[in-house]
Amino acid sequence: MRRCLSILGSTGSIGTQTLDVVRGLNLKVCALAANANTALLEEQIREFKPELAAVFDESAAKKLKIAVADTPVKIVSGMEGLCEAAAMESADLILNSVVGMVGLVPTLTAIGAGKDVALANKETLVAGGSLVMEAARKNSVKIIPVDSEHSAVFQCLQGCPEKKALKRIILTASGGPFFGKSRDDLVQVTPEQALKHPNWNMGAKVTIDSATMMNKGLEIIEASWLFDMPASKISVVVHRESVVHSMIEYEDNSVIAQLGLPDMRIPIQYAITWPQRFPSPVGQLSLTDYGKLTFFEPDLQTFSCLAACKNAIERGGLAPAAANGANEVAVKLFLDGRISFLQIGDLVHRAMENQPDIQSVSSVDDILNADRSARDYVLNAVG
């Protein structure tokens, strides 16, 4: 059982739910990290008493240092500070729940320091999957999935006798708030409408990704790296209720699924306690309360981001990093009211097409450069 956690992104949706799990399991917190939410970080420092707190934003870090001067916590800042939290000597698990590909370098730092990583930050694997998985193998570090679908697959695989018996991974997708709509229906949708996820209460970026179904595309790439499966063996089925969190199919066509209420504290807790299980704050699933569960084919025409990610993983190399970087910027532009909902998918496609077809990814700089050039492409295209 883990004793002390370092939590990157502690003020976010996954971070605060992780701290809820930590309370229930009576674990210690060695380090906390966030971007700029010093008010919540101060509360967390006072409750969990970490040795270290990292604040990415320099001026927010200065503010926090003054606010918690009466406590022994060490305050650090910037990427260096985030990496110090990621390599925390006293931590036996780093839970990475920062949003976006800014989580890549801290993940690699944690792995380099020999720390197991519970990974919610899917953009890290999408952009830098080959480097992350190779570093994990070299350092004998475990990457434990937190993302609900990947936790489901991981849980189903606990009984898998041999990898070659596994035929397919089936990821479930809620379909988001715009399930069943055509492209014409989506021309005018607002950020407010896109932020209404039917089943999950999450941070803004992943909620928009769910609405465009980019999230499911990112998750195909994430699954491909985590479970060493080609994208051709990863299917997506729309399941409106988000009760079946994902499935695996064996050679003999037997399908194993993991089910539960849509509450991230189940996969978060499993990532922390694996391979053990403990009582959880989440309620029991009552299938009779649901009555029926529904399943549909995804609509790749309307939700073009899903098609873009399939294309990215098939192209390989730096294409997924480009698709991810373009999407991160496009989502922000949409939330700021500067582009329309449908432009997100268009820009992701175009930024990826604009990326030279480079197959070999030999360094973090390759990924950071592809990410930067995709972001610049989107910003220039929008003007």
Ligand X SMILES: CC(=O)[C@@H](O)[C@H](O)COP(=O)(O)O
Ligand Y SMILES: NC(=O)C1=CN([C@@H]2O[C@H](COP(=O)(O)OP(=O)(O)OC[C@H]3O[C@@H](n4cnc5c(N)ncnc54)[C@H](OP(=O)(O)O)[C@@H]3O)[C@@H](O)[C@H]2O)C=CC1
Annotated binding site: 11-14, 37, 121-123, 147-149, 174, 197, 203, 210, 215-216, 219
Binding partner of 34, given Mn ion, ligand X, ligand Y, none, CB within 5-8 angstroms per partner class: ligand Y
Output the CA torsion sign for 310, 231, 324, 171: positive
Q: Which among ligand Y, ligand X, Mn ion, none contacts residue 216 (Cβ within 5 to 8 A by kind)? A: ligand X
With binding defined as CB under 6 A, does residue 172 bind ligand Y?
Answer: no
Rule CB under 6 A: say whether 122 interacts with ligand Y.
yes
d(CA 3, CA 273): 10
Q: Does 153 help bind ligand X (rule: CB under 6 A)? A: no
Closest distance of CB 56 from ligand Y, Å: 3
In this complex, which beta carbon is closest to ligand X, that of residue 7 or of residue 206? 206
Alpha carbons 76 and 57: distance in angstroms, whole number: 10
Residue ranges of the annotated binding site for Mn(2+) are: 147, 149, 219
- Return binding residues for NADPH: 11-14, 37, 121, 123, 203
Binder among 65, 181, 200, 346 for ligand X (CB under 6 A): 200
User: Contact between 210 and ligand Y (CB under 6 A)?
Assistant: no
What contacts 215, CB < 8 A, 6 or more positions away?
173, 206, 209
> By C-beta, is 35 or 148 nearer to Mn ion?
148
Question: Which stretch, 86-94, 118-126, 180-188, 271-279, contacts ligand Y (CB under 6 A)?
Answer: 118-126
Q: Does 264 bind ligand X (CB under 6 A)?
A: yes
**Alpha-carbon span 128 to 194, nearest angstrom:** 28
Query: Which residues contact ligand Y by CB under 6 A?
Result: 9-15, 33-37, 56, 82, 97-99, 102, 120-123, 147-148, 200, 202-203, 205-206, 264
